[in-house]
Copies of this chain bind each other. A is one copy, B any other.
Amino acid sequence: MVTPLDPTAAGFLLAENRTMPMHVGGLQLFEKPAGAGRGYAREMYEQMRAFDTPEEIAPLFRKHPTRSLRTAGQWVWEVDELFDIDHHVRHSALPKPGRVRELLDLVSRLHGTRLAPERPLWEAHLIEGLRDGRVAMYTKTHHALVDGISAMRLLASVMSTDPEQRNMPAPWGRRPRSTKHSESPDPASLSDLPVQVLRGALGIAAEAAGMPGALVTTLKRGLRNETSPVSLYAPRTIFNQPITGSRRFAAQDWPLERLRGIGKATGTTLNDVVLAMCSGAMRAYLLELDALPDTGMVAMVPVGLNAKKSHVASTDGGNAVGSVMVKLATELPDAADRLRTIHDSMRDGKQALSSMTPLQIQAMSAIGQAPAILPSMLKVQGIVRPPYNLVISNVPGPRTTQYYNGAKLLATYPLSIPINGMALNITCTSYDDKMCFGLTGCRRTVPHLQRLLGHLDQALDDLESAAGR
Protein backbone atom coordinates (compact mmCIF):
# COMPACT_ATOMS: atom_id res chain seq x y z
CA MET A 1 0.00 0.00 0.00
CA VAL A 2 1.93 2.97 -1.29
CA THR A 3 0.62 6.54 -1.63
CA PRO A 4 2.66 9.51 -2.75
CA LEU A 5 3.18 12.34 -0.22
CA ASP A 6 1.52 15.61 -1.11
CA PRO A 7 4.02 18.40 -1.90
CA THR A 8 3.58 20.18 1.44
CA ALA A 9 4.29 17.01 3.40
CA ALA A 10 7.32 16.24 1.26
CA GLY A 11 8.45 19.83 1.80
CA PHE A 12 8.45 19.28 5.56
CA LEU A 13 10.58 16.18 5.20
CA LEU A 14 13.03 17.99 2.95
CA ALA A 15 13.20 21.06 5.22
CA GLU A 16 13.95 18.91 8.25
CA ASN A 17 17.46 18.56 9.56
CA ARG A 18 19.22 17.86 12.80
CA THR A 19 18.70 21.30 14.30
CA MET A 20 15.20 21.74 12.90
CA PRO A 21 13.02 18.72 13.61
CA MET A 22 9.63 19.21 11.97
CA HIS A 23 7.26 17.82 14.55
CA VAL A 24 4.50 19.49 16.53
CA GLY A 25 3.45 18.44 19.99
CA GLY A 26 0.76 18.68 22.60
CA LEU A 27 0.92 18.52 26.38
CA GLN A 28 -2.27 17.52 28.12
CA LEU A 29 -2.95 17.43 31.83
CA PHE A 30 -5.52 15.03 33.28
CA GLU A 31 -7.13 14.65 36.67
CA LYS A 32 -7.57 11.05 37.75
CA PRO A 33 -11.18 9.92 38.08
CA ALA A 34 -12.54 9.57 41.60
CA GLY A 35 -11.52 6.29 43.15
CA ALA A 36 -8.54 5.77 40.85
CA GLY A 37 -5.76 3.79 42.49
CA ARG A 38 -2.04 4.45 42.66
CA GLY A 39 -1.48 2.45 39.51
CA TYR A 40 -3.85 4.62 37.46
CA ALA A 41 -1.19 6.10 35.16
CA ARG A 42 0.04 2.63 34.27
CA GLU A 43 -3.50 1.44 33.58
CA MET A 44 -4.00 4.43 31.28
CA TYR A 45 -0.72 3.62 29.54
CA GLU A 46 -1.54 -0.07 29.20
CA GLN A 47 -4.92 0.80 27.76
CA MET A 48 -3.33 3.07 25.17
CA ARG A 49 -0.96 0.39 23.96
CA ALA A 50 -3.43 -2.49 24.10
CA PHE A 51 -3.80 -3.50 20.46
CA ASP A 52 -3.99 -7.13 19.43
CA THR A 53 -2.93 -6.52 15.84
CA PRO A 54 -1.41 -3.58 13.97
CA GLU A 55 -4.58 -3.51 11.87
CA GLU A 56 -6.38 -2.00 14.87
CA ILE A 57 -4.22 1.11 14.50
CA ALA A 58 -5.64 3.85 12.27
CA PRO A 59 -3.92 3.99 8.86
CA LEU A 60 -2.63 7.53 9.51
CA PHE A 61 -0.60 6.19 12.45
CA ARG A 62 0.76 3.12 10.70
CA LYS A 63 2.33 4.63 7.61
CA HIS A 64 5.84 5.97 7.32
CA PRO A 65 7.55 7.94 4.57
CA THR A 66 10.09 6.25 2.37
CA ARG A 67 11.92 6.90 -0.86
CA SER A 68 14.27 4.76 -2.85
CA LEU A 69 15.16 3.70 -6.36
CA ARG A 70 11.96 1.67 -6.33
CA THR A 71 9.89 4.85 -5.84
CA ALA A 72 12.02 6.75 -8.36
CA GLY A 73 13.38 8.94 -5.57
CA GLN A 74 9.91 10.26 -4.69
CA TRP A 75 8.64 10.29 -1.12
CA VAL A 76 5.79 7.82 -0.65
CA TRP A 77 3.78 6.67 2.35
CA GLU A 78 4.10 2.99 3.08
CA VAL A 79 2.54 0.84 5.79
CA ASP A 80 5.14 -0.08 8.41
CA GLU A 81 5.02 -3.88 8.28
CA LEU A 82 7.08 -4.15 11.47
CA PHE A 83 4.82 -1.78 13.45
CA ASP A 84 5.87 -1.82 17.11
CA ILE A 85 3.39 -0.08 19.42
CA ASP A 86 5.95 0.06 22.24
CA HIS A 87 8.13 2.30 20.14
CA HIS A 88 5.30 4.80 19.80
CA VAL A 89 3.46 4.69 23.12
CA ARG A 90 5.81 5.24 26.03
CA HIS A 91 5.59 5.52 29.78
CA SER A 92 7.70 8.11 31.57
CA ALA A 93 7.95 9.60 35.04
CA LEU A 94 9.11 12.78 36.71
CA PRO A 95 11.81 12.95 39.35
CA LYS A 96 10.78 14.30 42.74
CA PRO A 97 9.43 16.75 43.78
CA GLY A 98 7.33 16.36 40.61
CA ARG A 99 6.51 20.01 40.06
CA VAL A 100 5.43 21.52 36.76
CA ARG A 101 9.06 22.52 36.40
CA GLU A 102 10.16 18.90 36.20
CA LEU A 103 7.35 18.22 33.73
CA LEU A 104 8.41 21.06 31.42
CA ASP A 105 12.04 19.90 31.66
CA LEU A 106 11.08 16.43 30.48
CA VAL A 107 8.77 17.67 27.74
CA SER A 108 11.48 20.06 26.51
CA ARG A 109 13.87 17.13 26.16
CA LEU A 110 11.31 14.91 24.45
CA HIS A 111 10.43 17.67 21.99
CA GLY A 112 14.11 18.12 21.13
CA THR A 113 14.69 14.62 19.72
CA ARG A 114 13.76 13.63 16.19
CA LEU A 115 11.20 11.04 15.20
CA ALA A 116 12.64 7.89 13.63
CA PRO A 117 12.06 8.14 9.86
CA GLU A 118 11.85 4.39 9.34
CA ARG A 119 8.71 4.26 11.49
CA PRO A 120 5.32 6.00 11.57
CA LEU A 121 6.04 9.61 12.53
CA TRP A 122 4.50 9.90 15.99
CA GLU A 123 5.10 9.23 19.68
CA ALA A 124 2.89 9.50 22.77
CA HIS A 125 4.34 9.66 26.28
CA LEU A 126 2.19 9.04 29.29
CA ILE A 127 3.87 10.83 32.19
CA GLU A 128 3.35 10.10 35.87
CA GLY A 129 4.94 11.58 38.97
CA LEU A 130 3.32 15.02 39.27
CA ARG A 131 3.12 15.59 43.01
CA ASP A 132 -0.50 16.73 42.85
CA GLY A 133 -1.45 13.39 41.29
CA ARG A 134 -2.26 14.75 37.85
CA VAL A 135 -1.28 12.63 34.85
CA ALA A 136 0.29 14.23 31.78
CA MET A 137 0.43 13.16 28.18
CA TYR A 138 2.90 14.53 25.66
CA THR A 139 2.29 13.68 22.02
CA LYS A 140 4.59 14.31 19.10
CA THR A 141 3.53 14.16 15.48
CA HIS A 142 5.52 14.97 12.38
CA HIS A 143 4.27 17.95 10.42
CA ALA A 144 4.41 15.83 7.26
CA LEU A 145 1.71 13.64 8.80
CA VAL A 146 -0.64 16.27 10.15
CA ASP A 147 -0.45 19.95 11.05
CA GLY A 148 -0.34 21.01 14.66
CA ILE A 149 -3.91 22.14 15.07
CA SER A 150 -5.34 19.08 13.39
CA ALA A 151 -3.12 16.96 15.62
CA MET A 152 -4.64 18.57 18.71
CA ARG A 153 -8.13 18.25 17.31
CA LEU A 154 -7.43 14.64 16.53
CA LEU A 155 -6.49 14.02 20.13
CA ALA A 156 -9.53 15.91 21.32
CA SER A 157 -11.81 14.01 18.96
CA VAL A 158 -11.61 10.86 21.07
CA MET A 159 -12.72 12.70 24.19
CA SER A 160 -16.18 12.92 25.59
CA THR A 161 -18.14 15.42 27.65
CA ASP A 162 -19.45 12.50 29.67
CA PRO A 163 -17.33 11.77 32.77
CA GLU A 164 -18.96 8.34 33.08
CA GLN A 165 -18.02 7.08 29.62
CA ARG A 166 -15.45 4.29 29.55
CA ASN A 167 -13.83 1.96 26.99
CA MET A 168 -12.90 4.95 24.86
CA PRO A 169 -10.31 4.23 22.17
CA ALA A 170 -6.78 5.64 22.00
CA PRO A 171 -6.47 8.53 19.52
CA TRP A 172 -4.43 6.27 17.22
CA GLY A 173 -6.94 3.44 17.32
CA ARG A 174 -9.08 2.69 14.29
CA ARG A 175 -12.62 3.54 15.32
CA PRO A 176 -15.75 1.65 14.38
CA ARG A 177 -17.93 3.47 11.85
CA SER A 178 -20.90 3.47 14.21
CA THR A 179 -19.20 5.58 16.88
CA LYS A 180 -18.15 8.05 14.27
CA HIS A 181 -21.57 9.01 13.07
CA SER A 182 -23.80 8.57 16.07
CA GLU A 183 -22.03 9.33 19.31
CA SER A 184 -19.47 11.93 18.38
CA PRO A 185 -20.60 15.22 16.89
CA ASP A 186 -16.98 16.47 16.92
CA PRO A 187 -14.58 16.57 13.94
CA ALA A 188 -14.97 12.82 14.48
CA SER A 189 -12.54 10.15 13.45
CA LEU A 190 -10.05 12.36 11.73
CA SER A 191 -7.63 9.52 11.77
CA ASP A 192 -9.58 7.68 9.13
CA LEU A 193 -9.45 10.60 6.71
CA PRO A 194 -6.63 11.03 4.24
CA VAL A 195 -4.07 13.55 5.36
CA GLN A 196 -4.87 15.99 2.55
CA VAL A 197 -8.37 16.38 3.94
CA LEU A 198 -7.01 16.80 7.45
CA ARG A 199 -4.77 19.61 6.38
CA GLY A 200 -7.57 21.00 4.25
CA ALA A 201 -9.73 21.29 7.34
CA LEU A 202 -7.62 24.30 8.21
CA GLY A 203 -7.46 25.63 4.70
CA ILE A 204 -3.91 24.60 4.27
CA ALA A 205 -4.20 23.84 0.61
CA ALA A 206 -1.51 21.46 -0.45
CA GLU A 207 -1.33 23.39 -3.71
CA ALA A 208 -0.34 26.53 -1.86
CA ALA A 209 3.10 25.11 -1.27
CA GLY A 210 3.62 24.85 -4.98
CA MET A 211 2.67 28.46 -5.48
CA PRO A 212 5.77 30.56 -4.93
CA GLY A 213 4.71 32.91 -7.72
CA ALA A 214 1.64 34.29 -5.97
CA LEU A 215 3.43 34.15 -2.65
CA VAL A 216 6.34 36.19 -3.84
CA THR A 217 4.08 38.75 -5.55
CA THR A 218 2.31 39.25 -2.23
CA LEU A 219 5.54 39.48 -0.32
CA LYS A 220 6.99 42.00 -2.76
CA ARG A 221 4.00 44.26 -2.32
CA GLY A 222 4.84 44.19 1.35
CA LEU A 223 8.46 45.04 0.68
CA ARG A 224 7.45 48.01 -1.46
CA ASN A 225 5.24 49.00 1.48
CA GLU A 226 2.09 48.97 -0.65
CA THR A 227 -1.21 48.29 1.06
CA SER A 228 -0.81 44.70 2.11
CA PRO A 229 -1.31 42.64 5.23
CA VAL A 230 2.32 41.67 4.74
CA SER A 231 4.73 43.95 6.49
CA LEU A 232 8.33 42.99 6.00
CA TYR A 233 9.76 45.68 8.22
CA ALA A 234 10.59 43.57 11.22
CA PRO A 235 13.66 44.50 13.27
CA ARG A 236 16.37 41.94 13.94
CA THR A 237 16.09 40.37 17.40
CA ILE A 238 17.77 37.52 19.27
CA PHE A 239 14.95 35.30 18.04
CA ASN A 240 15.96 35.80 14.43
CA GLN A 241 19.12 33.73 14.41
CA PRO A 242 20.16 30.22 13.42
CA ILE A 243 18.97 27.66 15.96
CA THR A 244 20.26 24.44 17.51
CA GLY A 245 18.43 21.15 17.92
CA SER A 246 17.62 21.39 21.63
CA ARG A 247 14.33 22.81 22.84
CA ARG A 248 12.87 24.56 25.83
CA PHE A 249 9.14 24.49 26.42
CA ALA A 250 7.14 26.61 28.84
CA ALA A 251 3.40 26.49 29.40
CA GLN A 252 0.80 28.10 31.62
CA ASP A 253 -2.88 28.97 31.48
CA TRP A 254 -4.93 31.95 32.61
CA PRO A 255 -8.71 32.26 33.13
CA LEU A 256 -10.45 33.22 29.89
CA GLU A 257 -12.67 35.43 32.02
CA ARG A 258 -9.77 37.75 32.85
CA LEU A 259 -8.81 38.14 29.18
CA ARG A 260 -12.44 38.66 28.12
CA GLY A 261 -12.87 41.31 30.81
CA ILE A 262 -10.01 43.36 29.37
CA GLY A 263 -11.46 43.00 25.87
CA LYS A 264 -14.89 44.19 26.98
CA ALA A 265 -13.52 47.18 28.88
CA THR A 266 -11.31 48.32 26.01
CA GLY A 267 -13.34 47.38 22.97
CA THR A 268 -10.76 44.85 21.78
CA THR A 269 -10.96 41.17 20.94
CA LEU A 270 -9.80 38.16 22.91
CA ASN A 271 -7.11 37.66 20.29
CA ASP A 272 -5.94 41.29 20.67
CA VAL A 273 -5.56 40.71 24.40
CA VAL A 274 -3.56 37.51 23.79
CA LEU A 275 -1.24 39.42 21.46
CA ALA A 276 -0.95 42.28 23.95
CA MET A 277 0.04 39.81 26.67
CA CYS A 278 2.73 38.40 24.34
CA SER A 279 3.87 41.91 23.44
CA GLY A 280 4.20 43.02 27.06
CA ALA A 281 5.99 39.83 28.01
CA MET A 282 8.35 40.07 25.05
CA ARG A 283 9.21 43.67 25.89
CA ALA A 284 9.98 42.87 29.54
CA TYR A 285 11.97 39.77 28.59
CA LEU A 286 14.10 41.58 25.99
CA LEU A 287 14.61 44.61 28.26
CA GLU A 288 15.96 42.27 30.93
CA LEU A 289 18.40 40.86 28.38
CA ASP A 290 19.20 44.38 27.14
CA ALA A 291 18.12 43.21 23.70
CA LEU A 292 14.92 45.15 22.95
CA PRO A 293 14.98 46.54 19.39
CA ASP A 294 14.24 50.27 18.95
CA THR A 295 11.48 49.61 16.47
CA GLY A 296 8.44 47.49 17.25
CA MET A 297 8.46 43.77 16.67
CA VAL A 298 6.13 42.11 14.16
CA ALA A 299 4.21 38.88 14.70
CA MET A 300 2.80 36.67 11.99
CA VAL A 301 -0.70 35.79 13.19
CA PRO A 302 -2.87 33.21 11.43
CA VAL A 303 -6.51 34.37 11.32
CA GLY A 304 -9.71 32.62 10.38
CA LEU A 305 -11.54 33.84 7.31
CA ASN A 306 -15.19 33.49 6.62
CA ALA A 307 -15.25 31.12 3.68
CA LYS A 308 -18.10 32.88 1.85
CA LYS A 309 -16.73 36.37 2.28
CA SER A 310 -13.22 35.45 1.30
CA HIS A 311 -14.36 33.32 -1.65
CA VAL A 312 -11.97 30.66 -0.46
CA ALA A 313 -13.75 27.42 0.08
CA SER A 314 -11.50 25.12 2.01
CA THR A 315 -11.60 21.44 1.26
CA ASP A 316 -14.17 20.62 3.91
CA GLY A 317 -16.29 23.72 3.21
CA GLY A 318 -15.30 25.28 6.52
CA ASN A 319 -13.38 28.43 7.19
CA ALA A 320 -10.08 29.18 5.54
CA VAL A 321 -7.02 30.58 7.29
CA GLY A 322 -5.06 33.63 6.25
CA SER A 323 -2.21 35.41 7.98
CA VAL A 324 -1.81 38.97 9.17
CA MET A 325 1.43 40.72 10.08
CA VAL A 326 0.64 42.44 13.37
CA LYS A 327 2.64 45.26 14.93
CA LEU A 328 3.37 44.20 18.49
CA ALA A 329 4.26 47.74 19.55
CA THR A 330 7.04 46.45 21.81
CA GLU A 331 8.67 49.89 21.60
CA LEU A 332 5.81 51.47 23.59
CA PRO A 333 6.18 51.46 27.40
CA ASP A 334 2.44 51.70 28.13
CA ALA A 335 0.27 48.57 28.15
CA ALA A 336 -2.85 50.43 26.98
CA ASP A 337 -0.94 51.98 24.06
CA ARG A 338 0.35 48.58 23.02
CA LEU A 339 -3.09 47.01 23.13
CA ARG A 340 -4.57 49.84 21.01
CA THR A 341 -1.80 49.63 18.40
CA ILE A 342 -2.20 45.86 18.18
CA HIS A 343 -5.96 46.20 17.81
CA ASP A 344 -5.60 48.76 15.00
CA SER A 345 -2.87 46.79 13.25
CA MET A 346 -4.95 43.63 13.38
CA ARG A 347 -8.04 45.45 12.07
CA ASP A 348 -6.08 46.98 9.17
CA GLY A 349 -4.50 43.66 8.38
CA LYS A 350 -7.81 41.85 8.32
CA GLN A 351 -9.30 44.52 6.05
CA ALA A 352 -6.37 44.23 3.68
CA LEU A 353 -6.73 40.47 3.80
CA SER A 354 -10.38 40.66 2.83
CA SER A 355 -9.42 42.67 -0.24
CA MET A 356 -6.94 40.05 -1.36
CA THR A 357 -7.61 37.58 -4.14
CA PRO A 358 -8.13 33.94 -3.22
CA LEU A 359 -4.75 33.14 -4.75
CA GLN A 360 -3.03 35.71 -2.58
CA ILE A 361 -4.80 34.38 0.48
CA GLN A 362 -3.71 30.89 -0.33
CA ALA A 363 -0.19 32.18 -0.70
CA MET A 364 -0.51 33.76 2.74
CA SER A 365 -1.67 30.46 4.11
CA ALA A 366 1.45 28.90 2.73
CA ILE A 367 3.57 31.36 4.70
CA GLY A 368 1.70 30.61 7.86
CA GLN A 369 1.63 26.88 7.51
CA ALA A 370 4.98 26.26 5.93
CA PRO A 371 7.24 28.87 7.53
CA ALA A 372 10.17 26.47 7.38
CA ILE A 373 10.17 26.68 3.63
CA LEU A 374 9.87 30.46 3.63
CA PRO A 375 13.43 31.63 4.39
CA SER A 376 14.98 29.73 1.49
CA MET A 377 12.18 30.92 -0.79
CA LEU A 378 12.80 34.51 0.21
CA LYS A 379 16.55 34.15 -0.14
CA VAL A 380 16.10 33.07 -3.75
CA GLN A 381 14.23 36.34 -4.25
CA GLY A 382 17.00 38.35 -2.64
CA ILE A 383 14.98 39.02 0.53
CA VAL A 384 17.20 38.39 3.53
CA ARG A 385 15.65 40.37 6.40
CA PRO A 386 13.31 38.50 8.75
CA PRO A 387 9.80 39.02 7.35
CA TYR A 388 8.48 38.91 10.91
CA ASN A 389 9.90 38.15 14.35
CA LEU A 390 7.80 35.26 15.48
CA VAL A 391 4.59 33.37 14.86
CA ILE A 392 1.81 33.78 17.44
CA SER A 393 -1.17 31.48 16.88
CA ASN A 394 -4.35 31.43 18.87
CA VAL A 395 -6.61 28.52 18.12
CA PRO A 396 -10.05 28.11 19.69
CA GLY A 397 -10.52 24.75 21.38
CA PRO A 398 -13.43 22.93 23.03
CA ARG A 399 -15.59 25.15 25.26
CA THR A 400 -16.73 22.38 27.52
CA THR A 401 -14.94 20.09 29.94
CA GLN A 402 -13.68 16.95 28.22
CA TYR A 403 -13.07 13.49 29.67
CA TYR A 404 -11.03 10.54 28.55
CA ASN A 405 -12.20 7.32 30.13
CA GLY A 406 -13.30 9.28 33.18
CA ALA A 407 -10.09 11.32 33.47
CA LYS A 408 -10.87 15.02 33.33
CA LEU A 409 -8.83 17.01 30.82
CA LEU A 410 -7.58 20.01 32.81
CA ALA A 411 -5.52 21.79 30.19
CA THR A 412 -3.92 21.28 26.83
CA TYR A 413 -0.82 23.17 25.66
CA PRO A 414 0.51 23.19 22.10
CA LEU A 415 4.20 22.72 21.21
CA SER A 416 5.33 24.05 17.88
CA ILE A 417 8.37 24.21 15.61
CA PRO A 418 11.15 26.77 16.02
CA ILE A 419 13.02 27.18 12.75
CA ASN A 420 16.22 28.87 11.66
CA GLY A 421 15.59 32.58 11.97
CA MET A 422 12.45 32.08 14.12
CA ALA A 423 13.75 30.65 17.36
CA LEU A 424 10.53 31.19 19.33
CA ASN A 425 6.96 30.18 18.65
CA ILE A 426 3.93 31.01 20.78
CA THR A 427 0.77 29.01 20.28
CA CYS A 428 -2.32 29.42 22.46
CA THR A 429 -5.44 27.39 22.63
CA SER A 430 -8.58 28.01 24.59
CA TYR A 431 -10.06 25.09 26.46
CA ASP A 432 -13.02 25.06 28.79
CA ASP A 433 -12.62 28.28 30.83
CA LYS A 434 -8.86 28.70 30.27
CA MET A 435 -6.47 30.23 27.76
CA CYS A 436 -3.52 27.83 27.51
CA PHE A 437 -0.18 29.25 26.30
CA GLY A 438 2.57 27.02 24.86
CA LEU A 439 5.98 28.60 24.23
CA THR A 440 8.47 26.55 22.23
CA GLY A 441 12.00 27.85 21.71
CA CYS A 442 15.51 26.84 20.85
CA ARG A 443 17.21 26.17 24.17
CA ARG A 444 20.37 28.00 23.21
CA THR A 445 19.00 30.94 21.19
CA VAL A 446 16.19 31.82 23.63
CA PRO A 447 17.80 31.91 27.07
CA HIS A 448 15.65 31.42 30.19
CA LEU A 449 12.54 30.89 28.10
CA GLN A 450 10.54 30.05 31.22
CA ARG A 451 10.92 33.65 32.43
CA LEU A 452 8.45 34.62 29.71
CA LEU A 453 5.73 32.95 31.81
CA GLY A 454 6.26 35.40 34.65
CA HIS A 455 6.30 38.25 32.16
CA LEU A 456 3.04 37.03 30.59
CA ASP A 457 1.48 37.00 34.03
CA GLN A 458 2.71 40.54 34.73
CA ALA A 459 1.51 41.69 31.28
CA LEU A 460 -1.98 40.40 32.09
CA ASP A 461 -1.97 42.33 35.38
CA ASP A 462 -0.80 45.48 33.56
CA LEU A 463 -3.53 45.16 30.95
CA GLU A 464 -6.14 44.78 33.69
CA SER A 465 -4.88 47.91 35.41
CA ALA A 466 -4.84 49.78 32.10
CA ALA A 467 -8.41 48.64 31.46
CA GLY A 468 -9.39 49.97 34.88
CA ARG A 469 -10.29 46.57 36.25
List residues of chain A with CB under 8 Å of any chain B CB.
18-19, 38-39, 41-42, 45, 82, 84, 87, 90-97, 102, 105-106, 109, 113-114, 116-119, 128-129, 244-246, 443-444
- What's the Cα separation between A451 and B464 when bound, in Å? 62
What is the CB-to-nearest-CB distance from A112 to chain B, in angstroms, rounded to a whole number? 8
Q: List 24 A-B contacts (CB under 8 A).
A: A18-B114, A38-B96, A39-B96, A41-B95, A42-B95, A42-B97, A82-B444, A84-B444, A87-B443, A91-B95, A91-B102, A91-B105, A93-B93, A93-B95, A93-B96, A93-B129, A95-B128, A95-B129, A96-B128, A113-B113, A116-B244, A116-B245, A118-B245, A129-B129
- What's the Cα separation between A128 and B244 when bound, in Å? 29
Residues of B within 8 A of A82 (CB): 444
Closest to A245 in B: B116
Given contacts A116-B246, A244-B118, A245-B116, contact A96 B42 (CB under 8 A): yes
Residues of B within 8 A of A39 (CB): 96
What is the CB-to-nearest-CB distance from A42 to chain B, in angstroms, rounded to a whole number? 6
Closest to A90 in B: B109
Residues of B within 8 A of A117 (CB): 18
Residues of B within 8 A of A87 (CB): 246, 443
Residues of B within 8 A of A95 (CB): 41-42, 45, 91-93, 128-129
What is the CB-to-nearest-CB distance from A154 to chain B, in angstroms, rounded to a whole number? 24
Residues of B within 8 A of A19 (CB): 118
- What's the Cα separation between A52 and B246 when bound, in Å? 23
What is the CB-to-nearest-CB distance from A46 to chain B, in angstroms, rounded to a whole number? 11
- What's the Cα separation between A129 and B41 when bound, in Å? 15
Closest to A246 in B: B116
Residues of B within 8 A of A105 (CB): 91
- What's the Cα separation between A94 and B84 when bound, in Å? 21
Residues of B within 8 A of A42 (CB): 95-97
B118 touches A41 (CB 8 A): no
Residues of B within 8 A of A116 (CB): 244-246
Residues of B within 8 A of A245 (CB): 116, 118
Copies assembled:
2
Closest to A45 in B: B95
What is the CB-to-nearest-CB distance from A273 to chain B, in angstroms, rounded to a whole number? 34
- What's the Cα separation between A431 and B95 when bound, in Å? 28
What is the CB-to-nearest-CB distance from A100 to chain B, in angstroms, rounded to a whole number? 15
- What's the Cα separation between A109 and B116 when bound, in Å? 12
B94 touches A93 (CB 8 A): yes
Of the candidates B90, B92, B97, B444, the one whose C-beta lies within 8 Å of that of A118 is B444
Residues of B within 8 A of A244 (CB): 116, 118-119
- What's the Cα separation between A245 and B119 when bound, in Å? 10
Residues of B within 8 A of A41 (CB): 95-96
- What's the Cα separation between A378 and B324 when bound, in Å? 58
What is the CB-to-nearest-CB distance from A355 to chain B, in angstroms, rounded to a whole number? 45
Residues of B within 8 A of A91 (CB): 95, 102, 105
Residues of B within 8 A of A84 (CB): 443-444
Residues of B within 8 A of A444 (CB): 82, 84, 118
Closest to A91 in B: B95
Closest to A102 in B: B91
- What's the Cα separation between A134 and B244 when bound, in Å? 35
- What's the Cα separation between A246 and B84 when bound, in Å? 12
What is the CB-to-nearest-CB distance from A127 to chain B, in angstroms, rounded to a whole number? 8
Residues of B within 8 A of A106 (CB): 92
Known interface pairs A19-B118, A87-B443, A95-B129; 12 further A-B residue pairs with C-beta atoms within 8 A, sorted by A's residue number: A41-B95, A42-B95, A45-B95, A87-B246, A90-B109, A93-B95, A113-B113, A118-B244, A118-B245, A118-B444, A119-B246, A129-B129
Closest 5 CB pairs of A and B: A93-B95, A93-B93, A91-B95, A113-B113, A118-B244
- What's the Cα separation between A24 and B93 when bound, in Å? 24
What is the CB-to-nearest-CB distance from A347 to chain B, in angstroms, rounded to a whole number? 42
Residues of B within 8 A of A114 (CB): 18
Residues of B within 8 A of A443 (CB): 84, 87
What is the CB-to-nearest-CB distance from A105 to chain B, in angstroms, rounded to a whole number? 8
Residues of B within 8 A of A102 (CB): 91
